Amino acid sequence: MNITENAIRVLEKRYLAKDENGSCIEDPAGMFRRVAKAVAAADKEYVSEEELKEIEQEFYNMMSNLEFLPNSPTLMNAGRPLGQLSACFVLPIEDSMEGIFESIKNAALIHKSGGGTGFSFSRLRPKGASVNSTGGVASGPVSFMKVFNAATEAVKQGGTRRGANMGILRVDHPDIMEFITCKRDNSEITNFNISVGITEEFMNAVENDEEYNLIDPRTGEVAGTLNAKKVFDVIVDMAWNNGEPGIIFLDRLNKDNVTPELGEIESTNPCGEQPLLPYEACNLGSINLSSMVKDIDNSPEVDYDKLKTVVWKAVHFLDNVIDVNKYPLPEIDEMTRGTRKIGLGVMGWADMLCKLNIPYNSQEAVDLAEKVMSFIQSESRKASIKLAEKKGVFPYYDKSIYKDKDIKLRNATTTTIAPTGTLSIIAGVSSGIEPLFAISYIRNVMDNDELIEVNPIFKKIALEEGFYSDDLMKRIAKKGTIKGFSEIPESVQKIFVTAHDITPDWHVKMQAAFQKYTDNAVSKTVNLANQATREDVYDVFWHAYKTNCKGVTIYRDGSRDMQVLNIGKVK
Ligand code: CDP
């Protein structure tokens, strides 16, 4: 198996099954075997024993070849007692003490199993509103968000990973200003990503520099007005300050809600890529695009035949996961089996572009993004229709928009672009649809030894073209870009661009290109240079809005004390 040392370290820490002494009782191949067997088991009642073995082997092969990986909870928990396989959940929060603490309890159960939770706090009465039973006053959404945050901190996801949360508040909630500024200080509410739920009405008011209404969620009555442009400017200012809040276009999420009869979409999962109904969960999986390039006579091209085969198997796999999954709550079981949403996406996009000699920041790359993703979306739907012929449509089909179109799908949605934070490390490729973060970087290993990690595609070319040296790789790591190194050919400099070589508008164009052919949403961070201005942030938000993105998150380099990835710093 072509798995890196770094990947093995990650797997050993959290993914491989261990005995009571904490020693691993399986290797990566054993993990893929365990997962393949557990997920194939969903076909037991449909196929012969021999066919079942074949399905298991197909699943095993595509994972161990690192062509497709399911989200982390599936790798961690399939075929093991916990058995909770989804990464994404959305829970409702009702405007009552019982409702609020019920939701905290449910979130704790989900976090324990490695899932992340998204919540809308919009139904909670505003700060200062009366509380009938006690005659006191309500403390408002932000103060309750802090209770959710503390609960998450305490749970720490026994053995898997720290719980991640998304907190959303509608822009017309009376407490919106407190929400927008609640993470001004980076050390606050650290277990939440926050996003403002933006409406079309609000965006129109921003455009026309008008007032808009704040609405009391209990009565639906107007509770005040604010100037939309001023509110938008504060969102921009906060995002410029440290990346939060993000914004999410609620009306767009609901325009694409395929089961409106079942309810309204109020929130997404923690990283924003999966809008869900209350109590709905979704399991994700990602195709490694770096492994979908074929080289014919030194002329690399996308291997669409292979991509098609992997899409079909991946849809089969993810659909099976819904059946073998053990859900943490009966309500989640009911909703998730009812809509059977799956989220197939991609990773290794930047690596694929490097292999194809296409710069990330080019129209050619944007056009290819549309072509590749529309292919994946269309094949995944065909695969889902085929599954429906054999196993039936999703149970809430009659409450979906598909019944009128007579498109008999097994899954209410099929595509989502996840961040692939860990999956991309396991596969050893660039994450999600992000550009390369660095060409090389220096990792501190034990005994203060320094290890230079070089992008494998770049390393291969550097060796072939004869400009590789450890010294050069160290200098590149310190600079964070290969721009301006005279020993590196211009043609190579043009292709191997990093997140910081790319202007924000290319980030947004890429996100919009993938979104155009994705049922759910796209996880993407628009990276800005440290010197970027508030106006630059404003432009990114506006560009994302105008190009039909479902939300947008920005990050200005160096704007947080704690930053996961650093360039130019030898750590
Ligand atoms: O690569 P991996 O499957 O571990 O996860 P990802 O693609 O980076 O994140 C996908 C989703 O997993 C996120 O949007 C969250 O819903 C969830 N997640 C989480 O709950 N806790 C984390 N620490 C990371 C991800």
Over the chain (571 residues), what is each successive 10-residue block's mean pLDDT? 91 93 96 98 98 98 98 96 96 96 96 92 95 86 97 74 91 98 92 97 97 96 97 98 97 98 97 98 98 93 98 98 97 98 98 98 98 98 98 98 96 98 96 95 69 91 95 92 94 94 97 98 96 98 98 94 48 28
First to last CA, the chain: 30
Please give the number of the atom of ligand 1 that sits closest to the Cα of 89. 16
Q: Pick from 272, 286, 331, 277: which is nearest to 72 by CA?
A: 286
Residue 395 CA to ligand 1 center (angstroms) comes to 27
87 close to ligand 1 (CB < 6 Angstrom): yes
88 close to ligand 1 (CB < 6 Angstrom): yes
Q: What is the pLDDT of residue 446?
A: 60
Q: What is the pLDDT of residue 450?
A: 73
- Residue closest via CA to ligand 1's atom 18 equals 116
Best probe residue, ligand 1, of 35, 71, 525 (max atoms within 8 Å of C-beta): 71
Q: What is the pLDDT of residue 569?
A: 39
Q: CA angle at residue 386 from 57 to 309, to 5 degrees?
A: 45
Q: What is the pLDDT of residue 539?
A: 98
Sign of the torsion angle spanned by Cα atoms 14, 20, 22, 25: negative
433 close to ligand 1 (CB < 6 Angstrom): no
| Residue 331, number of CB atoms within 10 A of its CB | 15
- Residue closest via CA to ligand 1's atom 6 equals 420
Active site residues: 269, 271, 273
Q: Which are the contacts of 405, defined by CB distance < 8 A and separation ≥ 6?
A: none
Q: Which are the contacts of 439, defined by CB distance < 8 A and separation ≥ 6?
A: 454, 455, 458, 476, 481, 482, 496, 498
117 close to ligand 1 (CB < 6 Angstrom): no
Residue 75 CA to ligand 1 center (angstroms) comes to 12
Q: What is the pLDDT of residue 158?
A: 55
107 close to ligand 1 (CB < 6 Angstrom): no
Residue 87 CA to ligand 1 center (angstroms) comes to 6
Residue 154 CA to ligand 1 center (angstroms) comes to 19
Q: What is the pLDDT of residue 480?
A: 83
Q: What is this model's ipTM?
A: 0.94
Q: What is the pLDDT of residue 243?
A: 96
User: What distance in Å separates the CA atoms of residue 490 and residue 360, rounded to the nearest whole number?
Assistant: 15
**Phi, psi dihedral angles at 222 (to 5 degrees):** -65, 130
